[in-house]
Structure 1
Amino acid sequence: MKHVGILGGTFDPPHLGHMIIAQEVQLSLNLDEVWFIPSHTPPHKNTTKTNAEDRVNMVKLAVQGNAYFKVNTIEIDRFGKSYTFDTIKELNKEYPRCTFYFIIGADMVEYLPKWNRIDQLIKLVQFVGVKRPGFSLISTYPVIEVEVPQIDISSTFIRNRIKNNQPFSYFTPEGVMNYIKEKRLYANGTSG
């Protein structure tokens, strides 16, 4: 069996916080791979700031050079709202020799009771919770806790920096930063 971590999100844009979480969970649980799965339309967010193609391209640039990291476009290819239950069900069917570990932040652990079909979902995948400032990992659902360095970076923070023409160099991988500048995403994207 192959042990695969799943890190889903809009990745609008992907940032070093995402990379650190993936690395630390991979290391802590000795996973064979971590798959980054950009969502088409997440159920808990109304919109994304960039199109799916740009977000996939940025994630591909972000994971470049790390043999453990892969990009899977299952949710982008499906269109519509991306419910974790549907994704995990599809992945289990497509990759029967894989055991999946769904990585979520502590903010999402608190929200688990409201997830679509959560009682069925916990039978299909192992949840992995990573700490986040201001949230606890206490849940009635089985969640493996993984310690990661506390780095409070968000995609919203980076977009605001870009919109205000402020440097964002050390918050995203260099390839992602260059892509944002080249494509002039999130305003003019000219600041480094």
Structure 2
Amino acid sequence: MDSTRTPRRIGLLGGTFDPVHIGHLRGALEVAEYLGLDEVRLLPNFRPPHRETPSCSAQDRLAMVRLAVEGLPLLVVDARELERDKPSYTIDTLESVRAELDADDQLFLIVGWDAFCGLPSWYRWSELLDHCHILVMQRPDADSEAPEELRDLQAARSVNDPLALTGSGGQIAFVWQAPLGVSATRIRQFLASGRSVRFLVPDAVLAYINAHGLYRASN
């Protein structure tokens, strides 16, 4: 290993991105800039184990995410979960990405508060921190408590300052972000009822949705 090499700092943000919207992009960009990450990889899920099957095909969702990040060098698309053709388990993704990195590279799994609270239901969830740090994007209006199973882990692994995370993984930090009242569910409902979603998704994504007739009531 080159002793003069600077360790890479990579964020991972998974989701169905059905469709990708400004909340996803703004959150990823805020984290990347605040922590000085080299990149945040957006990973569209093939078939998330804890959620309903996405409304759109993997090909359409991947195309929309690629359009969404054009011109944003800090945000890149990683299609490995779609290429697996099986349920998207985060632990598998972390092991796959970690195997491609040097031992001292830092990997950050970015999750929202709701997803963080649901970690105990994830496959092999107790092993996640063996491969990465966990960054929790928490909005000021999030008032729910983490489940009991997570409290001991939080007490042992939490770092108050996200900028103080050290090593390749193993710690948890919270990143506060401005609340954006945007959800993919709401966007799909708007589209199904013929309402505009302008400014809720990037223009290129909206053009793709319109060109392919996605999320319409007949779908």
| TM-score, normalising length: structure 1 | 0.93
* Bigger mean CA offset, 49-58 vs 105-114: 105-114
Checking the alignment, whether the CA contact within 8 Å between 1:103 and 1:130 is kept in structure 2 is yes
Does residue 160 in structure 1 map to residue 178 in structure 2? no
Q: Deviations over 1:151-181 (max 9, x none)?
A: 0211110000000000100100110010000
**Alpha-carbon distance in 2 for matches of 1:150, 1:117:** 30
Does residue 15 in structure 1 map to residue 21 in structure 2? yes
SS at match of 1:122: helix
CA RMSD after TM alignment: 1.7
The offset of 1:134, in angstroms, is: 3.8
Does residue 122 in structure 1 map to residue 129 in structure 2? yes
Does residue 109 in structure 1 map to residue 103 in structure 2? no
**Alpha-carbon distance in 2 for matches of 1:179, 1:85:** 32
Residues 103 and 56 of structure 1: CA distance in aligned 2, closer, same or farther (over 3 Å):
same
**Alpha-carbon distance in 1 for matches of 2:123, 2:51:** 14
Does residue 2 in structure 1 map to residue 31 in structure 2? no
**Alpha-carbon distance in 2 for matches of 1:29, 1:90:** 23
Q: Which residue of 2 aligns with 1:178?
A: 207
The offset of 1:112, in angstroms, is: 1.5
Q: Which runs of 4+ in 1 moved over 4 A?
A: 135-139
Q: Which residue of 1 aligns with 2:162?
A: none
Unaligned runs of 5+ in 2: 1-6, 158-171
Unaligned runs of 5+ in 1: none
* Bigger mean CA offset, 141-150 vs 76-85: 141-150
Residues 180 and 188 of structure 1: CA distance in aligned 2, closer, same or farther (over 3 Å):
farther
**Alpha-carbon distance in 2 for matches of 1:51, 1:91:** 24
Count the aligned residue pairs: 189
Question: Match for 1:145 among 161, 167, 174?
Answer: 174
Percent of paired sites with the same residue:
33
Checking the alignment, whether the CA contact within 8 Å between 2:193 and 2:217 is kept in structure 1 is no
**Alpha-carbon distance in 2 for matches of 1:40, 1:161:** 24
Give the residue type in structure 1 aligned to 2:41.
W
| TM-score, normalising length: structure 2 | 0.82
Q: Name which one, 1 or 2, has greater alpha-carbon Rg.
A: 2
Checking the alignment, whether the CA contact within 8 Å between 1:11 and 1:59 is kept in structure 2 is yes
The within-5 A match list for 1:71-90 is 71-90=77-96
Checking the alignment, whether the CA contact within 8 Å between 2:12 and 2:107 is kept in structure 1 is yes
**Alpha-carbon distance in 2 for matches of 1:152, 1:102:** 22
